[in-house]
Amino acid sequence: MIAQIKSDVVQGFRSRFGGSPRVFAAPGRINIIGEHTDYSEGLVMPAAIDRFCLTAMAKNGSDTMRVLALGRQEETEIAPGFTRSGTWVDYVSGVRQSLRDAGIDVPGCDLVIQGNVPEGAGVSSSAALEVSTMLAMLACADVTASTIDIALWAQTAESKYVGVPCGVMDQFISANGIAGHALFLDCRSLAYERAPLPPDVAFLLVDSTVRHRLVDGGYAARRKDCETAAERLGLRVLRDASHAMLAKGDLSERVMRRARHVISENERVVATATALVAADLSKVGCLMNLSHASLRDDFDVTCRETDILADIASQTSGVYGARQMGGGFGGAVLALVDTDGVETASRTICEAYRAQTGIAAPSFVCRIADGAHEITS
Ligand code: GLA
C-alpha cells in the first residue's frame, strides 16, 4: 500500500516540478484506551497504523514553498508568516510556522502530499499530515531533531495555528510508533513503555461516517471543562485529581462528570497495560467497553451512531470489546477482535449497523506499524 502511494507522489512530483524528491511517511493511529486524557497530562495507549501520509520534497532554490495536495489536485504557495485559511493548507503552513517558532527557518522547497489515512474518522490524519510535512521540512533545512521535539512542534502547529487545542498523543505516536506494539504513554513526562500486542488479535475499525470537525468547538469546550474542574479542585491539571477529591469538591454536575471521566480513564489505561502483559484480552475488551460508556455518559463526546456501533460490536461473537476512538462526536469505533473471526465479525457489525441506521459503514483491519520515517528504498 505504502509502495503505491510512494510511487504516486514521486510520479506526481516529477510531472509537476520535475526532478527526484526525497519521500517521508508518517502514520495515522489507533488508541486502544486513554481518550481525552492527554491534555490533562494523563495516560494513553496509542499505536501507529499502516495508513500513512507521504510527503515528497525537493529544495527549489527560492524563498517559496509550493505544495501540491495530489488527491485534491490543489496547489498552494506558502509565504513566510501565517494567515489562517480554514483549509488543509493551515496544517502545512502551521508546521512551517511552528518550526520558525523553534528557530528553524525552512528554505524554499516543493512538496507533494498524498495519503490513505481516512479523514475525520478519529485516526488522526491531521497528525500524519503534520508529522510527514515536518520531516520533509526538517530535511530541507538540514536539521536533525528528536522524535519528541517533532511531536511537540507538530502539536504546536495544530493547537496554535490550525486552532484545535489538542493534546500531544496523536503527534507523539505518529513520530514514535513501534511496529507490533502500543505505547503506554505518560503525557506528563512523555515517558513510555512498549505494550506488546498479542499476535492473535486484530484491530478492526468501523467508521460510523458521522463527522463533526474538532475545530467546531466541542473539543475545546471539553478541554475548558477539564481546566475548570482542575481549578475548582485547586490543581494545575486533572492528572492529579482523585475520586476522593471529587466527592469533596464543589463542582457543577457537568464539570464533575468530565473530571470523573478523566480520573476513571487514567485508571483504565493502567489496568489495560497490566491486562496486556498478562495477555488477558477479555479484560482489555471489558475496559474498552467501560471507556465507551464513560465517554458517552460522563464526557458526552459520543453520538447516537457511535453508541449503536459500539453496542453492536461489543455484543458480536469474536469481539472482546469496542469503543469510539479519537476526538469524538462521531468517527470510528475500534473493536478488539479474534484474528480468526475478524472478517465475519466485521460483516456482522456492518450489517446490523446498516439495519439500525441505514448507513453503510466502511471498515478496515489495521496493522500496527512503525512511526514516521524517510522512505529510502
Ligand atoms: C484528538 C486530539 C488528541 C486527543 C484525542 C482524544 O485526537 O488530537 O490530542 O485529545 O482527540 O483522546
pLDDT at 353 (0 to 100): 98
pLDDT at 187 (0 to 100): 98
Note whether 55 and 156 are same-domain residues.
yes
**What is the 277 CA–ligand 1 centroid distance (Å)?**
25
Per-residue pLDDT band at 213 (split at 50, 70, 90): low
- Residue 216 reports pLDDT greater than 80: no
8 Å CB contact between 129 and 94 = no
Instruction: Quote the distance between the C-alpha of residue 109 and its chain's center.
Output: 27
How large is the average pLDDT for residues 336-345? 97
Note whether 261 and 354 are same-domain residues.
yes
Which of 290, 269, 302 shows the shortest CA–CA distance to 40? Answer: 269
Note whether 190 and 204 are same-domain residues.
no
Note whether 207 and 240 are same-domain residues.
yes
**36 CA closest ligand 1 atom index:** 12
**What is the 180 CA–ligand 1 centroid distance (Å)?**
22
Dump pLDDT digits (tens) for 92-127: 999 999 999 999 999 999 999 999 999 988 899 999
How large is the average pLDDT for residues 278-282? 96
**126 CA closest ligand 1 atom index:** 8
What angle do the packed helices 147-156 and 89-101 form, to 10 degrees?
120
pLDDT at 205 (0 to 100): 98
pLDDT at 217 (0 to 100): 85
Note whether 172 and 238 are same-domain residues.
no
Does 327 sit in the ligand 1 pocket, CB within 6 Å? yes
Does 169 sit in the ligand 1 pocket, CB within 6 Å? yes
Dump pLDDT digits (tens) for 5-50: 999 999 999 999 999 999 999 999 999 999 999 999 999 999 999 9
Cell numbers at 162, concatenated: 490550525
pLDDT at 80 (0 to 100): 81
Does 35 sit in the ligand 1 pocket, CB within 6 Å? yes
pLDDT at 215 (0 to 100): 52
Best of 33, 38, 39 for a ligand 1 pocket test (most atoms within 8 Å of beta carbon)? 38
Dump pLDDT digits (tens) for 156-167: 999 999 999 999
**34 CA closest ligand 1 atom index:** 12
Query: Ligand 1, atom 5: nearest CA belongs to which residue?
Result: 327
Note whether 117 and 210 are same-domain residues.
no
**What is the 166 CA–ligand 1 centroid distance (Å)?**
6
Q: Please state, for a pLDDT cut of 70, what percent of the chain lies above it.
A: 99
Note whether 258 and 143 are same-domain residues.
no
Note whether 123 and 202 are same-domain residues.
no
Dump pLDDT digits (tens) for 168-186: 999 999 999 999 999 999 9
Note whether 202 and 185 are same-domain residues.
no
Does 33 sit in the ligand 1 pocket, CB within 6 Å? no
**37 CA closest ligand 1 atom index:** 12
Cα angle 305, 182, 225 (rounded to 5 degrees) comes to 50
Max Cα separation, the chain? 66
Does 38 sit in the ligand 1 pocket, CB within 6 Å? yes
Residue 129 structural domain: 2-194+369-375
Q: Please state, for a pLDDT cut of 90, what percent of the chain lies above it.
A: 94
- Residue 214 reports pLDDT greater than 60: no
How large is the average pLDDT for residues 80-88? 91
8 Å CB contact between 371 and 48 = yes
Does 39 sit in the ligand 1 pocket, CB within 6 Å? yes
pLDDT at 211 (0 to 100): 86
In this structure, the number of other CB atoms found within 10 A of the CB of residue 241 comes to 23
Amino acid identity, position 268: R
Q: Domain of 266: which CATH number?
A: 3.30.70.890
DSSP letters for 208-246: ------GGGTHHHHHHHHHHHHHHHTT-SSGGG--HHHH
Cell numbers at 307, concatenated: 453508541
| Enzyme catalytic residues | 170
- 3-class secondary-structure state, position 83: coil
Query: Ligand 1, atom 1: nearest CA belongs to which residue?
Result: 327
Dump pLDDT digits (tens) for 343-354: 999 999 999 999
Q: Domain of 43: which CATH number?
A: 3.30.230.10
Q: What residues have CB less than 8 Å from 85, skipping those under 6 apart?
A: 93
Per-residue pLDDT band at 321 (split at 50, 70, 90): very high
Domain count, the chain: 2
User: 193 pairs with which residues across the strands?
Assistant: 184
Tell me, what DSSP letter sits at residue 370? -
**What is the 148 CA–ligand 1 centroid distance (Å)?**
17
Cell numbers at 335, concatenated: 473493536
Residue 17 burial (10 A CB sphere; 0-12, 13-18, 19+) = middle
How large is the average pLDDT for residues 327-334? 94
Tell me, what DSSP letter sits at residue 340? G
**169 CA closest ligand 1 atom index:** 9
Give the number of C-alpha atoms closer than 13 A to the C-alpha of residue 152, restricted to the C-beta side.
11
Note whether 188 and 203 are same-domain residues.
no
pLDDT at 63 (0 to 100): 87
DSSP letters for 165-177: ---SHHHHHHHH-
pLDDT at 293 (0 to 100): 98
Note whether 173 and 214 are same-domain residues.
no
8 Å CB contact between 139 and 145 = no
Note whether 146 and 282 are same-domain residues.
no
**What is the 256 CA–ligand 1 centroid distance (Å)?**
20
**What is the 292 CA–ligand 1 centroid distance (Å)?**
15
Backbone angles phi, psi at 81, to 5 degrees: 90, 165
